[in-house]
């Protein structure tokens, strides 16, 4: 059975540098937000930290809940 991958979903994942540019902040600021448990949702892929474009849009929306709230 061939293995399939959703390439559209993978294209929607941004690196820390790309996410920082989109949010008009620095990669260091995003790293600090991750450390404190705030900022947009993120995920690890190996050693890389990636952000989904949809999560960045949700972070910018007024009804955003921080990642710290998901950990409770």
- Higher-confidence residue: 46 or 7? 46
Q: List the chain domain ranges.
A: 7-70
Confidence of residue 61 (pLDDT cuts 50, 70, 90): confident
Dihedrals phi, psi of 36, to nearest 5 degrees: -80, -10
Predicted confidence at residue 57, as pLDDT, reads: 93
- Whether the model clears a pTM of 0.75, i.e. scores above it, the answer is no
Q: Of 15, 49, 23, whose CA–CA distance to 34 is shortest?
A: 49
| Cα–Cα distance, 32 to 37 (Å, whole number) | 9
- Evaluate if residue 43 carries a pLDDT over 60: yes
> How confident is the model over 3-40, as pLDDT tens digits?
556 656 666 999 999 999 999 999 999 999 999 999 99
Dihedrals phi, psi of 61, to nearest 5 degrees: -75, 155
- Asked if 16 contacts 30 with a C-beta cutoff of 8 angstroms, the reply is yes
């Amino acid at each position: 059975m061939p293995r399939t991958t959703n390439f559209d979903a993978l294209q929607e994942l941004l690196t820390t540098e790309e996410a920082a540019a989109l949010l008009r902040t620095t990669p260091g600021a995003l790293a600090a937000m991750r450390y404190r448990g705030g900022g947009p949702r993120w995920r690890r892929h190996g050693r890389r930290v990636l952000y989904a474009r949809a999560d960045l849009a949700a972070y910018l929306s007024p009804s955003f809940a921080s990642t710290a709230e998901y950990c409770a």
